[in-house]
Amino acid sequence: MSTDSLVMVDHHCHGLIRTDLGREEFEQLATEATTPPAPGTSHFDSPVGLAIRAHCAPVLGLPPHAAPGGYLARRNELGCAEVARRLLAAAGIDTFLLDCGFRAADLLTPAEMERIGDVSTREITRLEAVLESTAWEGAAHLADGFGATLAAECAESRSVGLKSIIAYRHGLDFDPARPGRREVLAAADAWLRAGGRVEDPVLLRHALWCGVDLGLPLQFHVGYGDPDIVLYRNDPTLMTEFIRAVSVPIMLLHCYPYHREAGYLAAVYPHVHFDVGLAVSFTGPSAERVIAESMELAPYTKVLFSSDAFGLPELYLLGSLLFRRGLAATLARWQDDGHVDAADVARITSLVCGGNALRVYGLDVHG
C-alpha cells in the first residue's frame, strides 16, 4: 500500500539548526554522544551515518552511499537552506509538534520551520525550561505561581502538549506523589541559592503535577538519549504508580530499549501512548525490527510517529522514511501471514502515522 497520501504528524521534534555546518559540527549533530568520536573512528561509522549516506545523498543529487567527505561538500555547496528544503520536502511530514525548550537560540522558530518545510506546526512546552526561566521570580512564586505561569506560557504559545525530562534530570523512579507546598518551597530555596539546572526531584515533580493540572497530553523522555541519562532508570514501568495516579494522556517518547515495556503500558492503561522516535533514525538499517517490536503488544491506537529530529534536516527525512518503510514492511508481513487484510493495513498505517496524534492532541489539520 502506498503511504504517500497519508497525513504524517511528527508528534515530537525540534527545530533545524540555523547555520551551515563544518564536519565536526555535523558529526556531533548526527550522534547522541556528546564527545568526539573514538580515536581512529568517525560518527559516520554508525547506523545513522550509513542511513544518511544511503538515503539523504540521493536527495542532494549524489549517488547513494556517498562518502562522508563528498556528502558534506555537496551539502555546503547547496547551502543549509536548500538542503533543508529538499530533505524536508522528501520527508513528507505534514505537521510538526515542536519542543522549543532546548537550545532555542540555535534553532529555527516554529514560524521559520513552517516556511522552510511547507508544514504546519504546533508547540510542546517543556516543563523544565519554563521552570528554569521562572527562577528569577523567587521561591514563593515557584511554589504558588508556577502553575499560572505555565498556563500562561502554554496559552501564549498555543501549546498542544507538555514535555518532561525528569528521566534526564532524575530518573523515572520518581516519587509519584504531588509534593507538598513546604517541600517545594524548601527545594526552590535550595535550588535558587545553588543555581544551575533543576535536578531536585521535588521541583521536577512540582512542575510535573502543575502540568497534570492543565490537562494537556504529557510527553516523557524515556530510554535512549545522550549520555546525560542513566539508562536503567529510564524503564517506563518505573513510573507505574504515577501513571495510575493521573488521567491526562501520557506520551512515552523514544522508549528504546524499553519499547516492549512501553507497549505493555499502552496495552493496559487507556491513557498511555508511545513512540520509538529517535531510535528509528539512530538504528537506521535495523529500524524495522524496532518498529515491529513496538507493535507486538500495543493497541495500534496507542502507537505514534515521531522523528525526534534535532538540528539536522537529515533526521526528519530519516525519521519519516525509515518509519514509513519499517511500518509498511511489518504490516506487509502481517498481511502475508494472513493476520490482516489490505483494509486493516491502510487503517493501522493511517492511525499510527497521524490519526492517533490528531485524536490524542485534539489537532485540527486544517486549523
Residue 261 within binding range of its own copies, rule CB under 8 A? yes
Residue 349 within binding range of its own copies, rule CB under 8 A? no
Angle between helical axes of 287-294 and 313-336 (0-180°, round to 10)? 60
Residue 299 within binding range of its own copies, rule CB under 8 A? yes
Q: Which of 86, 94, 271, 350 binds its own copies (CB under 8 A)?
A: 271
Residue 292 within binding range of its own copies, rule CB under 8 A? yes
- Count each helix (H run) and each strand (E run) in the chain, helices first: 17, 7
Cα–Cα distance, 349 to 340 (Å, whole number): 12
Cα–Cα distance, 176 to 240 (Å, whole number): 9
Residue 71 within binding range of its own copies, rule CB under 8 A? no
Residue 180 within binding range of its own copies, rule CB under 8 A? no
Minimal distance, residue 40 CB to its own copies, in Å: 5
Residue (114 or 173) nearer to its own copies, CB: 173
Residue 168 within binding range of its own copies, rule CB under 8 A? no
Cα–Cα distance, 53 to 229 (Å, whole number): 28
Contact in structure between 299 and 13 (CB atoms under 8 Å): no
Residue 81 within binding range of its own copies, rule CB under 8 A? no
Q: Which of 78, 260, 346, 350 binds its own copies (CB under 8 A)?
A: 260
DSSP character string of 22-83: -HHHHHHHT-S-SSPPPTT--TTSSHHHHHIIIIIGGGGTS-TT--HHHHHHHHHHH-HHHH
Cα–Cα distance, 289 to 308 (Å, whole number): 18
Residue (146 or 168) nearer to its own copies, CB: 168
Q: Which stretch binds its own copies (CB under 8 A): 17-25, 42-50, 113-121, 208-216?
A: 42-50
Minimal distance, residue 10 CB to its own copies, in Å: 21
Q: Which stretch binds its own copies (CB under 8 A): 8-16, 104-112, 120-128, 287-295?
A: 287-295
Q: Which of 269, 328, 346, 350 binds its own copies (CB under 8 A)?
A: 269
Residue 281 within binding range of its own copies, rule CB under 8 A? no
Cα–Cα distance, 189 to 245 (Å, whole number): 28
Cα–Cα distance, 72 to 69 (Å, whole number): 5
